[in-house]
């Protein structure tokens, strides 16, 4: 009886960890922008969705594979991110800390409605041949898309961490986030560092959008729900920590699948957000936060 019970548990655990990979992938960019600029980019989810729709357009109109479309999608969002920070947000930062939040909110609403007009509220998906494949691991069927999500998150997490800790540019971004004035006195163009951080965050959002689309169907409203999930991930992991965000994704994914397993589907997000509240109460800086 006990063993059987554990055997059943392997499925939600495996699915929770892999699903956590997708959550982490979405949240890494949010975490980076928060860590560097102390801005909660409420448009992050909609920018992720923008990438999903971009890949959808490339796939349905030109027959380009969604993962391949990232060759254009990532630079496109990188440039968009740079421009958003340089021309919209940086001016708002000069006014107050709340002003950029309102701008981000405006970008979010604009994108949602833009996507609504072009694609209608209908649900879409990046349905490719491999998105539907699944394989067996010890009696558990795992969709290939979930595994791809996890691998992509792992790669992005390690790349960001190495970039921030090893390169001149990464260190300069770090310095600008720790003490802007001192960074300027070291000859760092802090305005450019913020734009670069936002641009990198958007490049990761491009990746997240494609893998999200391969995993789940999406509508123009999906950005908001994924923003809230990503926000939960970042709270659990600790704002600004890349490894923390990755672990936070796993924790939230596991809370969701195990919650669903024990209490039924309707309760899965309840357990996930319950987890966020517990972390906030016990360790408000997050598991890996400083």
Binding site for another protein (CB under 8 A): 168, 171-172, 174-175, 178-179, 181-190, 290
Q: Tokens for 37?
A: 């600029």
What spatial distance separates the first Cα and last Cα of the chain, rounded to whole Å? 43
Nearest to 194 by CA among 204, 183, 205, 185: 183
CB of 246 to another protein, least distance (A): 19
Residue whose pair of structure tokens reads 């102390």 in the numeric block? 38
DSSP β-bridge partners for residue 218:
124
DSSP calls for 241-285: -HHHHHHHHHHHHHHHHHHHHHH-GGGHHHHHHHHHHHHHHH-TT
CB of 96 to another protein, least distance (A): 14
Q: Which helix (H) or strand (E) element contains residue 161?
A: helix 144-166
Q: Pseudo-torsion of CA 92, 204, 47, 265, nearest 10°?
A: -120
19/183 with CB nearer another protein: 183
CB of 89 to another protein, least distance (A): 19
172/230 with CB nearer another protein: 172
Rounded to whole angstroms, how far apart are CA atoms 91 and 86?
Answer: 8
CB of 176 to another protein, least distance (A): 10
CB of 184 to another protein, least distance (A): 4
HEC sequence for 128-145: CCHHHCEEEECCEEEEHH
72/175 with CB nearer another protein: 175
Inter-axis angle of helices 190-215 and 2-37, to 10 degrees?
A: 150
CB of 192 to another protein, least distance (A): 9
98/181 with CB nearer another protein: 181
90/184 with CB nearer another protein: 184
DSSP calls for 66-94: HHHHHHHHHHHHHHHHHHIIIIIIHHHHH
CB of 18 to another protein, least distance (A): 32
108/190 with CB nearer another protein: 190
140/174 with CB nearer another protein: 174
191/217 with CB nearer another protein: 191
CB of 289 to another protein, least distance (A): 12
Kindly tell me the sign of the dihedral angle through the C-alpha atoms of 271, 272, 276, 282: positive
């Amino acid at each position: 009886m006990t063993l059987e019970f554990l055997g059943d548990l392997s499925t939600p655990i495996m699915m929770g960890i892999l699903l956590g990979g997708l959550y982490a992938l979405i949240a890494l960019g949010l975490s980076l922008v928060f860590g560097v600029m102390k801005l909660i980019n409420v448009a992050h989810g909609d920018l992720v969705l923008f990438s999903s729709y971009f890949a959808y357009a490339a796939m349905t109109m030109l027959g380009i594979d969604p993962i391949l479309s990232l060759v254009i999608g990532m630079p496109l969002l990188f440039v968009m991110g740079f421009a958003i920070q340089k021309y919209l947000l940086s001016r708002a930062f000069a006014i107050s800390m709340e002003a950029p939040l309102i701008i981000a909110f405006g970008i979010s609403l604009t994108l949602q409605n833009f996507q609504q007009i072009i694609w209608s509220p209908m649900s879409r998906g990046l349905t490719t041949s491999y998105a539907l494949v699944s394989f067996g691991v010890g009696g558990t069927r795992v969709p290939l898309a979930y595994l791809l999500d996890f691998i992509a998150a792992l790669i992005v997490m390690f790349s960001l961490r190495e970039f921030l800790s090893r390169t001149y540019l990464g260190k300069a971004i770090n310095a600008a986030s720790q003490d802007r004035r001192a960074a300027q006195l070291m000859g760092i163009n802090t305005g450019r560092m913020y734009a670069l951080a936002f641009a990198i965050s958007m490049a990761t959002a491009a990746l997240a959008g494609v893998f999200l689309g391969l995993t789940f169907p999406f509508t123009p409203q999906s950005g908001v729900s994924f923003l809230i999930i990503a926000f939960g991930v970042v709270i659990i992991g600790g704002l600004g920590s890349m490894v923390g965000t990755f672990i936070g994704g796993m924790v939230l994914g596991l809370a969701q699948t195990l919650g669903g397993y024990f209490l039924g589907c309707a309760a899965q997000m309840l357990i996930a957000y319950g987890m966020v509240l517990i972390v906030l109460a016990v360790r408000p800086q997050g598991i890996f936060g400083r």
